[in-house]
């Protein structure tokens, strides 16, 4: 029987690669997913997979040029959101 190699990345990244890409720990990424403050993910079988455009879009929500910049988007911390924060989503 002949086996073919499965492509390592079929359009999505798994947690360790995703955490490295975002510059956060795997645990922080898990907390973001638990609290609903992180990037959009897909659950395929038992695996959590992130699409690169979703990661880039989520990271771009935090772009600032100055500490005084006010933008409509925000990357929330990995914790439960307050009612006021939920209202801004």
Interval 55-79: pLDDT, tens? 999 998 877 777 777 766 777 778 8
pLDDT at residue number 72: 65
69/61 Cα distance (integer angstroms): 12
Decide: 42 and 10 in contact? Cβ < 8 Å. Answer: no
Rounded to the nearest angstrom, the gap between the alpha carbon of residue 42 and the centroid of all alpha carbons in its chain is 11
Decide: 30 and 50 in contact? Cβ < 8 Å. Answer: no
50/17 Cα distance (integer angstroms): 9
43/70 Cα distance (integer angstroms): 34
pTM, whole model, 2 decimals?
A: 0.70
Give the length of the chain.
89
């Amino acid at each position: 029987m002949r086996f073919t190699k499965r492509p390592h990345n079929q359009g999505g990244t798994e947690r360790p690669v995703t955490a490295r890409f975002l510059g956060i720990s795997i645990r922080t990424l898990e907390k973001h997913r638990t609290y609903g403050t992180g990037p959009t993910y897909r659950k395929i079988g038992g695996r959590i997979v992130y699409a690169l455009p979703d990661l880039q879009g989520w990271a771009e929500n935090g772009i600032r040029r100055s500490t005084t910049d006010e933008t409509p988007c925000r990357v929330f911390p990995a914790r439960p959101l307050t009612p006021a924060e939920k209202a801004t989503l």
